[in-house]
Amino acid sequence: MQFLSLIQAWLVKTFTEKSEVEQDSPANLRMLRNITLVIYVATIAVGIFTITQGLFIQAGIVGVLWILLNISGALLLRGTTFPARFISPLAILIAVSVIAARANGLHDSSVVIFIVVIIFGSLTMGAKGALIFAALVSVTTVLMGILEAQGILVNRFSELTDLTDIVLIGIVAPLVTAVIQITLLNRLNQSVTFAQKSVEQQKEINTELIRLQQELEERINERTAELETKSEQLTEQVRTNQRRAKQFQTIADVARYVANIQDLETLFDTLAQLVSEQLGYYHVGIFLNDEANHYTILSAANSEGGKKMLARNHRLKIGETGIVGNVAYTGSTRVALDTGDDAIFFNNPDLPETRSEMAAALKISNQVIGVIDIQSKEANAFSREDSEVFAALADQIAIAIENVRLLEDTQKSLGESETIYRQYLRSEWGRIASDEKFSGFQYKITGAAPLVEPLQKPEFEQALESGAVMVHQDENDKSSLVVPIKLRGEILGIVNIRQPGEKAWSKDEIELVQSVTDRLAISAENARLFEETTRRAERERAVSTITTKIRSTNDPQEMLAIALSEIKNALNVRDVRVKGMENEPDSATGNQAES
């Protein structure tokens, strides 16, 4: 009951709420107009074809559909989208139903287009569209199958129609297609939602930066007002404001320069060089805490002494060594106006000219991830007010570091996913080649034939190894074009086209073959996935049938006999035996079945 309640709740939500594709956004409206236009043109073409073939009944039905498409198109131009969303897939459904009914019924190749109807329905109406048109397709095909089975709808294949065809084509295929399409739509909606959240987060970050810049500008204005009223402090205050403006500009430059940097090494080098050049300090170092939070490690520096420390993997004990270690522990900005008098200053022989030093913590969510260390050759180079500015600069640098880390983690996860999927493709297609026991197909004028043994040619091996198109002239004076069949970067096989005589393959010809092989790879993968889904469904059905038969009795002996008999029939084996835990003779079951 709980499962039924969940399904009911999902159906109510699906049919009462608008999905992402049903929103009248510019992109959705553009897609809807394109779909309607394509179906409109296709309807005209089908109508002309039916008239030229003398199929006037079909032509009349197509004409009605054409009128409906005109009405829905007119309403779409007026801003009413629902008729276009519903009538466009419905037109395809009716047209294909008429064609199939007049041709070979359920066995006509045109019924494959029913899947396209469900896909179009999901593209125009979302999950509810997939369900509605899956139901319409199911009703249509089931009705067609019943009419064929009853002899009312007669064609050359109608005698072959049975219950299995009706169930598979009329129920299973639409249901599976709808489920797959709904799953894909859900994944798409999740991706869109995630992207929207990322955009909102980025907007919040940008808003915070703008707010910070506005606050800093307000402080500059306040300092300027004070200069107007305090003439005796004019020179010193102007110098202070200019210095502060330079610092603010550095913060803005950091935000602008690091926006497009995508790796930490480049980011660190850029930040250290930028802060040093803009603010005129001879040494700028960036430290990052290790995972255990025991040491803070130098990751970037602009000075010669700093580069020497980088070379020997310089690190400081957090909370114990120097100003940097103290700031990494407390998270508070530290200023040493005279390093000779500061009790926790670390005398570094690589930076002997240091007279004053400032260190600010790099924080993400109030957690210290590192320290930016700035050193000057001048005593009293930093004021107490500078600590606020450098704290803001440190926050900006921390945000940039975290963004690059998140990007690297995302790229790493994406790369791992692609590698796993390629390994899965390689394994599955290798298994198919082994199970089918053939290497491919050879097509000649006389027809097609499977290749039991692979063709060994150097150009084949080169194409498989390099993944590039190969053009070759063999010893039999035949021009050969070898194009790899690729699926998401994985090479599944090759297509080899040979023609007698010397032929210069044009760029258009090669691109045409490449386009065909790309679609061949996608179609083959879709067929493999469909076959795998069908195989799993058959296995689950067999297990369910056997389980039902076993549960039909309460006698353990009869249960065992039923289980062994069903296993023997399902596996088509000669004999099935059961051996107990003790060393007793095997007991055979039932009759010896011929395999």
From 182-196, 246-260, 549-563, the region with the lowest mean pLDDT: 246-260
Tens of pLDDT, residue by residue over 383-413, are 777 777 778 878 888 888 888 888 888 888 8
**Which residues are 373's β-sheet partners?**
285, 359
Domain spans in the chain, listed from the N-terminal domain onward: 10-199, 249-409, 438-524, 539-588
Tens of pLDDT, residue by residue over 410-464, are 888 887 877 787 777 777 776 766 666 666 777 777 777 777 666 677 777 777 7
Rg (CA), the chain: 37
pLDDT tier for residue 589 given thresholds of 50, 70 and 90: very low
339 pLDDT more than 60: no
- Give the closest residue to 13 by CA, choosing from 150, 164, 127: 127
Q: How far apart are CA 51 and CA 57, in angstroms?
A: 9
pLDDT tier for residue 584 given thresholds of 50, 70 and 90: very low
Tens of pLDDT, residue by residue over 522-553, are 887 787 788 888 888 888 888 888 888 888 88
From 219-233, 319-333, 536-550, 559-573, the region with the lowest mean pLDDT: 219-233
Using DSSP, state whether 338 is helix, strand or coil: coil
The encoded tokens of residue 425 equal 């493709």
CATH code for 438-524? Answer: 3.30.450.40
Domain 249-409 identical in fold to domain 438-524: yes
Using DSSP, state whether 498 is helix, strand or coil: strand
Strand 587-588 with 295-301, pairing: unpaired
Tens of pLDDT, residue by residue over 142-161, are 888 888 777 777 777 777 77
What is the torsion angle, in degrees rounded to the nearest 10, for the CA atoms of residue 485, residue 491, residue 493 and residue 496?
A: 50
Average per-residue pLDDT for the chain:
76
From 311-315, 465-469, 576-580, the region with the lowest mean pLDDT: 576-580
pLDDT tier for residue 341 given thresholds of 50, 70 and 90: low
Q: How far is CA 135 from the centre of its chain?
A: 30
Contact status, residue 510 vs residue 475, Cβ threshold 8 Å: no
Using DSSP, state whether 474 is helix, strand or coil: coil
- Of the chain, the percentage scoring pLDDT greater than 90 comes to 0
The encoded tokens of residue 190 equal 């999740």
Q: How much is the pLDDT for 518?
A: 84
The CATH superfamily of 249-409 is GAF domain (3.30.450.40)
pTM of the model: 0.38
